[in-house]
Structures are given as structure tokens and as C-alpha cells.
Amino acid sequence: MADSADVAAEIMERRQEAALANRPALHAVADAEECDDCGYEIPAARRRAAPWATTCIECQGIRERRGRHVR
């Protein structure tokens, strides 16, 4: 028979698994060659270093300073 701590741990584990299954892939490869913000080309070095990036390094810096660095 499971005690309340075991039941709580099982519930937390199921919720965590569901949350992880529903999140967007962090390492999904974006095929963006142009920055979403300024429209200029994202340098090849940035695309190799951060293949999920959809902004150039300058625009990403602006987003982070404004607190908009959500993917």
C-alpha cells in the first residue's frame, strides 16, 4: 500500500513527464537564414553555433535586454 508521499511523488512525476512531452524542442533546427527582427542574413557562424536561432546576434541582444528572449 502506497503512502501519501508515494502518491504525491507519482503525481509529480506524471505532471513533469507531461510538461516535458508538451514543450517545444529546444534543439530544433530552424532553417531561418534571415533575422526575424531586422530581415538581414543570420551569419553562417551563428547558424552553426545556434541552429535554432531565428535572429541575428545584434537583434538577439536587443531582445534579451528588453526581456523578450522567449523562443
Q: What is the CA radius of gyration of the chain?
A: 19
Quick check: 27 pLDDT over 60? Answer: no
CA neighbor of 38 nearest in space, from 18, 20, 59, 22: 59
Region 14-40: mean pLDDT is 80
pLDDT attached to residue 31: 73
* Confidence band of 29 (pLDDT split at 50, 70, 90): low
Greater pLDDT, 5 or 20: 5
Domain ranges of the chain: 4-66
pLDDT attached to residue 34: 94
CA separation (Å) from 10 to 21, 24, 58? 17, 24, 44
| 0.85 surpassed by pTM | no
